[in-house]
Amino acid sequence: MTDSKISFEPPRGMRDFYPEDMLWRNKVFDAFRAAGEAAGFEPYDACVVESYELLARKAGEEVGEQIYHFLDKSDRHLALRAEMTPTLARMVAQRQKELAMPVKWTTVAQCFRYERTTKGRKREHYQWNVDIIGSESVLAEAEVIGVAVDALRRMGLTPADFKVHVSSRRLLSEILSVSGIPENLHAQVFLALDKRGKMPDGEIAGMLRAGGLDEAGVRRAFEIMTIEDVAGARAMLGGAASRGADELEELFRLAGAAGFADALVFDISVIRGLSYYTGIVFECFDAAGEFRAVFGGGRYDNLLTAIGGEPATAVGLGFGDVVVTELLKARLGAGAVTAKKCVAVGYMAAEQRDAAVRLAAALRAKGGAVDLALKPVKPRKFFSRAGAAAYAAVLIGPDDVAAGTARMKNLATGEEREICLA
């Protein structure tokens, strides 16, 4: 024990949620849950602590370096999950024979990453995940992106406020291959190119050389990043058949049929920092480009086998609560969330307390929300305090108990109506 004062701040990057913060969090979580349910995703949950081995990653991936890990008292090497995807893969692998594929699962998971804390990045965040396992169809990508767009709409945003930037690792691989860059180098190229905008091009070129590319390969990698649309990608492929390009075009068509084509843009620079993605990848940003990514995801067809499961195709996304809350506050303003109002019930003296308790119980039994005063209160104080959180108020005095009735005051209009205290 020391005498030094404990700080009232949470540890750096960790988060407290005061009641006013919970209003925003609930708005965001409500939209996550409603959108997931509307699209037929089943909720699941899992432990926050995982074996380090499951979460540990190859060098070069930022997330791998950011894992909070520790030895427990029995020397087990454990970690706090940094994302949900390895856990989801583990859970699916455990029941792979019993599950009727495709599986459509959703969760809001608390995740921990030892990140440099900046705008939009904390060391703790809640991440909504929606994943479809066991479907090769591009419709799975369309469904996953569509459900996230639906959640943003439910929060009060429109495609004028955000865009989902879409690309394809398969397409990039195809172009790298026709450019003479062998497939075993592609993963390194993806991780290096993903750093564009975050580090100088010179350093990225260095990473590419270290990854085994010659000068022509490095030039080609940067050239690929200038592609503006799928047609441009096809041109770079010199007319060769391209599953990557076909899939992207199909996704745009399906988004049109589903009614969210206006939310999608092709963007070759979206690569994603996680190495398990294999096909279409996407990331959502606010339209003004002020904030970090709102959500990100893609197809990851090899993760189940990478952790020792049977092969299974998969696609999904992670949608954090931090950036979208910043975006909502900026676009909708503080008035967009208000606490749910209730009925305030008070009493002037201890003799009326039981009557107030009975009234509160009766109103609550009918489904009402009641804030019951915890001690006798004078009328002026009662009504001024009630005004902030209640839409109506009842103050029970000695005459009311004698009469068996009291007056419920509508705090917006000042109107009163008689209610029975029996």
Q: Under rule CB under 6 A, which residues in 126-145 are in contact with ligand HAM?
A: 127, 129, 131
Residue type at position 244: G
The string over 132-148, giving b where at least 16 C-beta atoms fall within 10 Å of a residue's C-beta and e elsewhere, is: bbbbeebbbbbbbbbbb
Q: Does 108 bind ligand HAM (CB under 6 A)?
A: no
Q: Does 157 bind ligand HAM (CB under 6 A)?
A: no
Q: Shortest Cβ distance from residue 223 to ligand HAM (Å)? A: 26
Q: Shortest Cβ distance from residue 48 to ligand HAM (Å)? A: 15
Using CB under 6 A as the criterion, what x/- string covers residues 220-259 for binding ligand HAM?
Answer: ----------------------------------------
> Residue holding tokens 């990100």?
296
Question: Within 10 Å of residue 267's Cβ, how many Cβ atoms?
Answer: 19
Q: Does 346 bind ligand HAM (CB under 6 A)?
A: no
| SS3 state of residue 78 | strand
Q: Shortest Cβ distance from residue 3 to ligand HAM (Å)? A: 35
Please, which residue, 312 or 377, has the CB nearer to ligand HAM?
312
Binding segment for ligand HAM (CB under 6 A), chosen from 165-173, 241-249, 290-298, 337-345, is: 290-298
Q: Shortest Cβ distance from residue 83 to ligand HAM (Å)? A: 3
Q: Does 25 bind ligand HAM (CB under 6 A)?
A: no
Please, which residue, 323 or 360, has the CB nearer to ligand HAM?
323
Q: Under rule CB under 6 A, which residues in 348-387 are in contact with ligand HAM?
A: none
Q: Does 104 bind ligand HAM (CB under 6 A)?
A: no
What would the two tokens of residue 278 be?
A: 């294999």
Q: Does 125 bind ligand HAM (CB under 6 A)?
A: yes
Q: Shortest Cβ distance from residue 13 to ligand HAM (Å)? A: 8
Q: Does 316 bind ligand HAM (CB under 6 A)?
A: yes
Q: Under rule CB under 6 A, which residues in 48-67 are in contact with ligand HAM?
A: 63
Q: Does 165 bind ligand HAM (CB under 6 A)?
A: no
How far is it, in rounded angstroms, from Cα 102 to Cα 144? 13
Alpha helices in 14-69 (DSSP H): 19-38, 52-55, 62-65
Torsion sign across C-alpha atoms 215, 184, 145, 88: negative
Q: Does 122 bind ligand HAM (CB under 6 A)?
A: yes
Contact 44, 87 (CB under 8 A): no
Phi, psi of 109, rounded to the nearest 5 degrees? -115, 135
Q: Under rule CB under 6 A, which residues in 77-96 are in contact with ligand HAM?
A: 83, 85
Going by the DSSP 8-state scheme, the letter that residue 17 receives in this structure is -
* Ramachandran assignment for 78, one of left (phi > 0), alpha (psi -120 to 50 degrees), beta (any other): beta
> What are the Cα distances from residue 332, in Å, to 36, 51, 130, 294?
23, 41, 25, 16
* Burial (CB count <10 Å: 0-12, 13-18, 19+), residue 335: exposed
| SS3 state of residue 131 | strand
- Site size for ligand HAM (CB under 6 A): 25
Q: Does 322 bind ligand HAM (CB under 6 A)?
A: yes
The sheet carrying 390-396 orders its strands as 370-372, 342-347, 390-396, 405-410, 416-420
Please, which residue, 83 or 174, has the CB nearer to ligand HAM?
83
Q: Which residues are CB-neighbours of 179 under 8 A, at least 6 positions away?
A: 217, 220, 224
Question: Within 10 Å of residue 345's Cβ, how many Cβ atoms?
Answer: 29
Q: Does 102 bind ligand HAM (CB under 6 A)?
A: no
> Residue holding tokens 């492929």?
237
- Residue from 217, 320, 346, 397 touching ligand HAM (CB under 6 A): that is 320
Q: Does 293 bind ligand HAM (CB under 6 A)?
A: yes
**For ligand HAM, which residue has the nearest CB?**
320
- Residue from 36, 102, 279, 318 touching ligand HAM (CB under 6 A): that is 318
| SS3 state of residue 124 | strand
- Residue from 140, 270, 317, 356 touching ligand HAM (CB under 6 A): that is 317
Q: Does 113 bind ligand HAM (CB under 6 A)?
A: yes
What would the two tokens of residue 87 be?
A: 């856990």
Q: Shortest Cβ distance from residue 142 to ligand HAM (Å)? A: 15
What would the two tokens of residue 179 be?
A: 């450019």
Please give the residue ranges that form the binding site for ligand HAM (CB under 6 A): 63, 83, 85, 113, 115, 121-122, 125, 127, 129, 131, 274, 293-297, 300, 316-320, 322-323
